[in-house]
Structures are given as structure tokens and as C-alpha cells.
Chain A
Amino acid sequence: MIEALQFEFMQNALMAGLLASLICGIMGTLVIVNRIVFLSGGIAHAAYGGIGLAFFFGWPYLVGTIGFSPIMALLMAAVTLKAKHRSDTIIGVLWAVGMAIGIILIDLSPGYNVDLMSYLFGSILTVPDSDIWLMLGIAVTINCVVTNFYTDYLALSYDEEFAQIRGVHVKALYFLLIALLAVSVVMIIRMVGLILVIALLTIPPYIVEKYSTSLIKMMIFSSMLSAIFTVCGLWISFTFNITSGAAIILVAGTGFVVSLAMERILPKISRRAPGMLEE
């Protein structure tokens, strides 16, 4: 690993991976406790529409995606608030339509063929410096927002109605959360790909949830675990010359299985309510 770090692209990859871990640790925790994993999946897939727009009109990548994704995300969020019992269907529709728009626009774009694989698994080994700075900016913004509204997010995630009665601006904070999620997802897709975003958003927070006594600890533990998965995955990818995104996901997946096994063998350590897995 140390020798690998002599290469600038490896330094950048490591930096990008650690920043992605930090962002996913915080946002993933909020995604898990608010049960909006499906919504996150929808955002990540619909983002392809933004990529298509960018290619078709010849805009820079980020203009297309950062313009398109939050709009789709907020549309999905509005639907979840309005018609809760139908939200999964409508997210599914937007999910599919977003991707289809992207693919058709790329088909229609003259003389340029974007690699779908790089959208799925990203290209963490070719991350430019400018993206790292942008990512750092997003990480700092998310940190500020979540620190500032921590007790409000805690209350609205735990018991939305009670939070509303207490005068917490539940809707505004929910839309802010979704907007931040959309921007984070778009940024991280560029670096590590769609599949890894979903994996990093869900696997580490789910594993640490049962060992955390507070939301903030869950965020910190998730970020740390993500970082461990990312570093291990990068090392494996470098050593065995395999796709880095997929390597990171396999490490995370292995961690997930190990944690489930531990939950069975050492049920006392786990604070998750019994019978959870049977449900």
C-alpha cells in the first residue's frame, strides 16, 4: 500500500475514497434511520438522465447532473410526503424514466459514446484534483448543516409528528436533507459509481446501527467503517489489478455477512431488538 501511494493517482483515489466515506457515513445514517434507501436508489439512477443532458447539450458533467438530480430528488420527496402509501411506485417510475432519458440522450449525442461501466462503477483511479476540492466542499457543507440541525434531524427521524408539534420545520428540513443527498450522490457517482454509492450509503450504517447509542455515534462509526472498507478495497484492487469499485463493494459485503454472523453468535453485543432478522 505504501509503495502504491507513491503514485499521484493512488493518493487522489485514497483521498476521494476517504471523503466519500465521510459523506456516506453521515448521509447514509440519515438514509437508514429515515428509511429512504429506495428513494436514494431512485436518485442515484435518475442521475443518469442528468448525465445524458450534459452530453447532449455539451455541458460540463456537473452542470447537467447537479441541475437534474436535485429536481428529480425533490419531486420524489414531495411525492413521499403527499402520498406515502404510493411513494414506492412513483419513485420506481421516476427511477426508470430518469435512466431512460439519459440513455436516449446519449444515443442521440453525435459521435460520442459514454461508457456505462464508468457510471456504474466510477473511475476512482482517475479522479482529478478539482473533483477532490469539490467533494471537500460538499463534505464541509454537510457537516455544518447536520451539526447545526442535529437535534432537529434526530427528532424528525425518530418521531416526525412529535417534531412537528414542537415547531420543528419538518418539511423544510426533509427537503434540505433530500437536496443534500442528491448533490452527494451525484458527486460520489462520478468518482466511485452508482453501485458503490448505494453500498456505502447502506452497508456501514446498517452494520453499526446496532452498536450505536446515538445518531452522532452511528454517523462517526459508519464513516470509519466506510473508510476501512475503502482502503482495504483499494489495496486489493491495486494488488490484484481488479476494478476498484467492485473490490470495495466486495469488502463491504464481506463485512456485512460477518456482522450478521456475529449478531447470531454474540447476540448480547447487538442492541438491535430481537427478532429483527426474522421479520
Chain B
Amino acid sequence: MSQSIIKIRDLNFSYNGQHVLRDVDLEVAAGDFMAMIGPNGGGKTTLLKLMLGLLPADRGRILILGKPPKEVSHRIGYVPQDVHINKDFPVSVLDVVLMGKLSPRRGWSRHSKNDRVSAFQALEKVEMADFYERRIGELSGGQLQRVFVARALVTEPDLLFLDEPTASIDTKGQREFYVLLKQLNQTITIIVVSHDLMVVSGYVKSVACVNQRLHYHGHAELTGEMIELMYHCTAEEVCPVEMIAHGVPHRVLHTHEKE
């Protein structure tokens, strides 16, 4: 349980001469369910991409499962933020999920019957099995998001990264979605990026605040400090304007009362 599945030391990344991430240290234990929160442009997605080996770090070291990201990226299930890429692409739901079955060692480019069966099972898990023959462009945003989760699950990952997974799902759907994640968390370590604290907070085990720098909180309580980091001012200052706009403090307090 307490074995570190992610180890990041002194990580720095800049883009076009601008610092995106500075001196980031992070250790994530196996079995964790971590929410990564922070303002837009704070570097959350960048950090995910660094951990996936899609971007090279300027300085510092990332070890995932004890190895550099590029070597182990196939053991990470990834649900990207923008699911609307290529909506006109001629591809069916099942074929998208089957992309999760690609692996570096496969020679001849064919999917086996087993691959199809597990792709179908992944679709059943996210309740999209009835849509397997549909073309991707016919789905709604929420349906697409679930197909992308199925594509990540079919990789049988040790780690699951989700980038704003509930962006196009309604509130009821979001709750169901996090119930599904909680269930998956029994076997998989999960990191979810979100600017939406209210739904996340009830299910996550730890929180990392990312705004160039990273602050890790080993428990899922939201503190004034986190809010300060996110919005560059104290909770009192921020509350009347920003917080009402985001709906954050009220629901956060609600969750705390329950606990």
C-alpha cells in the first residue's frame, strides 16, 4: 500500500521561456486516489504529460513504477481532456476502445478475439456497450468521455490518469462517474485533474495543489492554504467573488460537516 508508485524530484518545465512547473517534488503511494487541483494554466495537464513521457523535463527526475515514464507509459491508462478531437474521424466506438490494446511488443497489426472481448467488457463497465458499432461523431460529450475511460481501462493499467474527466457530464452523471472511479480505485492508483473540487472531494484520498509549484496534502481536506494557492489570495478575500462564482466553499464545507 505505502510503496511509492510515482516519485518526482526537483522537476522543472518551461515552455517558450515561461516557467510552467518549478521545483516539483511528489510521491504517490500505490492505491492512492489523488486529485490534482489548481487554476487554469497552473500546469496540471503539463504535469500529467510529463508523467506520461509526452513532454521532456527541463530538469529533475520522474520515476513511474521505478522507471522513466517513456518505458512504462503503456502501463498507464490515460483519459485526455479534449475528447472532441477529430469528431469527423471515420472510426467506431469499439475501434477506439481497441486502441487501448496496442502495445509496443505486438508485431502484425491485428486485434485478436480476446482483445475484442475485453474491449466489449470495458464498454459494458462504462455502460456504453450498446453503442459499440456507432461512429464516434454520433456520441454526446459525456458518452465520448465514457468511451475514453473504457479505452483507458482496456489497457489493464496500474495507474489511471484522468484530465478533467467530468467536464461534459451533468451533476448526476458526475456522481455516478466518481462512484465508478472509487470502485476502480480498489485495484488501480488514480490521479484525477480537476478544477471542480466539489464532486472530487468526497471520494479522493489526497490532494495536490498545482500552480507552478506543487503542494501535496496527504488527506482530502481542503484548507484555506489550498484555496490561497489556487487563487493567489486568502480565503476571506476570495470568498465574496471567486468562490461564489465557483460554488466551492459552500459545498466543501458541506462535505466536511458530513465527515
Q: Which A positions have Cβ atoms within 8 angstroms of B?
A: 33, 147-152, 154-155, 157-159, 161-168, 209-210, 212-215, 217-218, 271-273, 276
Contacts and interface: CB of A to CB of B under 8 A. Distances in A.
Contacts, number: 95
A167 B99 contact: no
A154 B86 CA distance: 12
B251 to A, nearest CB: 33
A33 to B, nearest CB: 6
A272 B54 contact: no
Nearest to B71: A167
A155 B80 contact: no
14 contacts: A147-B109, A151-B102, A151-B109, A151-B110, A151-B111, A154-B91, A161-B52, A164-B53, A166-B102, A167-B73, A209-B90, A212-B90, A213-B91, A272-B137
A271 B138 contact: yes
Contact of B52 (A152, A165, A210, A213): A165
Closest 3 CB pairs of A and B: A167-B104, A212-B90, A166-B102
A168 B86 contact: no
B89 A33 contact: yes
Contacts of A154: 91, 95, 99
Contacts of A217: 90
B175 interface: no
Contacts of B114: none
A93 B54 CA distance: 29
Given A162-B151, A166-B103, A271 B73 contact: no
B168 interface: no
**Could you say which interface size class chain B belongs to?**
35 or more
B76 interface: yes
B114 to A, nearest CB: 15
Contacts of B182: none
A213 B90 contact: yes
Contacts of A164: 53-54, 73
B155 A166 contact: yes
B54 A215 contact: no
A26 to B, nearest CB: 14
B109 A148 contact: yes
Given A149-B109, A273-B88, A155 B104 contact: no
Nearest to A274: B137
Contacts of A168: 102, 104
B58 to A, nearest CB: 17
Interface of B: 49, 52-54, 73-74, 76, 78, 80, 85-92, 95-96, 98-100, 102-105, 108-111, 133, 135, 137-138, 151, 155
Nearest to B74: A167
A149 B52 CA distance: 23
A164 B92 CA distance: 20
A129 to B, nearest CB: 34
A93 B104 CA distance: 37
Given A213-B90, A271-B135, A159 B99 contact: yes
A159 B109 contact: no
A157 B109 CA distance: 15
A158 B91 contact: yes
B249 to A, nearest CB: 35
